[in-house]
């Protein structure tokens, strides 16, 4: 996900099963410097939305496997706040109300102009960016939530999306112990046991990236491993 401003690119997930409409939208987005990730059905679209981060999601109502309402309801259950615009050929009042009640931020009736869709996306994203605290500071770590840049003891690095989401999770609840399963769910929306050490590997990468080898800096890296349980970020006043 990118911070939105002049000459900065947006990343949008498009979930649309009609290829002609998708091609039309993707071409319009490209002209506006918007990168598009396209999925053709609700099942794949939901999975992509849960494991990757986008500036906005454009979601068709009439999708195979899972319809648009099922997708957004499952997505919002995970407490994701990414702006969602739904595309629908249904324009009756009850249909429009259902769109908003399901958790969507806006809707576009079909047929539509892609230029209007872009303006609506930009407006929603700007509104969301303005309401989020840009940086978090905790336990000696500073984390920029728009650029994914973390700083600790003078060492500044850019994190991967997965590293960023894990570190943000721990920083928002300093002192709280999280099990590996809780980290999987809260950071990446994964609710099943992956059977891998993905969390441990990500923690190791964070430590390696941010740990300072300067002997003058005596503060230990604040992410602590709790044996047999999981991890926590030690609160440092």
- The domain spanning residue 203 has which CATH number? 1.10.10.10
Average pLDDT for residues 189-194, to the nearest whole number?
Answer: 68
Residues 53 and 83 sit within 8 Å (Cβ to Cβ): no
Assess if residue 37 is contained within a domain. Answer: yes
Q: Which of 109, 131, 153 represents a domain boundary (last residue)?
A: 131
Report the number of distinct structural domains present in the chain: 2
Residue 73 sits in a domain whose CATH number is 3.40.50.2300
Assess if residue 45 is contained within a domain. Answer: yes
d(CA 144, CA 146) in angstroms, rounded, equals 6
* Arithmetic mean of pLDDT over the chain: 84
d(CA 181, CA 184) in angstroms, rounded, equals 5
Are 14 and 127 found together in one domain? Answer: yes
Assess if residue 1 is contained within a domain. Answer: no
Assess if residue 103 is contained within a domain. Answer: yes
Assess if residue 3 is contained within a domain. Answer: no
Least confident range from 6-10, 143-147, 149-153, 166-170: namely 6-10
Assess if residue 83 is contained within a domain. Answer: yes
Determine the structural domain holding residue 97 and report its residue range. 10-131
Are 106 and 175 found together in one domain? Answer: no
pLDDT for res 219? 64
Are 99 and 170 found together in one domain? Answer: no
Are 116 and 162 found together in one domain? Answer: no
Are 56 and 125 found together in one domain? Answer: yes
Residue tagged 């002192």 (tokens): 175
Q: Which of 114, 131, 148 represents a domain boundary (last residue)?
A: 131
Region of 70 please: left (phi>0), alpha (psi -120 to 50) or beta: alpha
pLDDT for res 185? 78
pLDDT in tens, 36-45: 999 999 999 9
Are 122 and 86 found together in one domain? Answer: yes
Predicted confidence (pLDDT) at residue 17 exceeds the cutoff of 90: yes
From 11, 3, 7, select the one nearest 129 (Cα to Cα): 3
pLDDT for res 103? 86
Binning pLDDT at 50, 70 and 90, where does residue 210 land? confident
d(CA 162, CA 32) in angstroms, rounded, equals 27
**Cα separations (Å) of 162 from 12, 42, 86, 116, 217?**
18, 23, 27, 32, 27
Are 204 and 118 found together in one domain? Answer: no
Highest-confidence segment of 63-67, 113-117, 149-153: 63-67
Average pLDDT for residues 211-231, to the nearest whole number?
Answer: 75
Assess if residue 4 is contained within a domain. Answer: no
Q: Which residues contact 185 (CB under 8 A, 6 or more apart)?
A: 191
pLDDT in tens, 69-106: 999 999 988 878 888 999 988 877 777 788 888 888 88
Q: Which of 115, 131, 147 represents a domain boundary (last residue)?
A: 131
Tokens at residue 87, please? 């595309």
Assess if residue 2 is contained within a domain. Answer: no
């Amino acid at each position: 996900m990118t911070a939105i401003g002049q000459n900065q690119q947006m990343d949008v997930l498009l979930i649309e099963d009609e290829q002609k409409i998708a091609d039309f939208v993707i071409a319009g987005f490209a002209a506006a410097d918007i990168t598009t990730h396209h999925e053709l059905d609700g099942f794949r679209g939901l999975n992509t939305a849960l494991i990757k981060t986008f500036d906005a999601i454009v979601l068709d109502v009439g999708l195979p496997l899972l319809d648009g309402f099922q997708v957004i309801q499952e997505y919002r259950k995970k407490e994701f706040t990414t702006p969602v615009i739904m595309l629908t050929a249904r324009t009756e009042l009850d249909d429009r109300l259902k769109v908003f009640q399901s958790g969507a931020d806006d809707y576009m009736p079909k047929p539509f102009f892609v230029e209007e869709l872009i303006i609506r996306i930009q407006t929603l994203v700007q509104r969301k960016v303005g309401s989020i605290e840009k940086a978090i500071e905790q336990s000696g770590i500073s984390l920029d939530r728009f650029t994914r840049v973390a700083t600790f003891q003078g060492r500044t690095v850019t994190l991967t999306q997965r590293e960023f989401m894990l570190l943000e999770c721990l920083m928002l609840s300093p002192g709280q112990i999280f099990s590996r399963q809780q980290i999987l769910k809260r950071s990446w929306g994964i609710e099943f046991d992956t059977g891998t050490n993905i969390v441990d590997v990500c923690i190791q990468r964070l430590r390696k990236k941010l740990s300072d080898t300067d002997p003058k800096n005596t503060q230990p890296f604040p992410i602590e491993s709790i044996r047999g349980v999981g991890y926590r970020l030690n609160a440092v006043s």
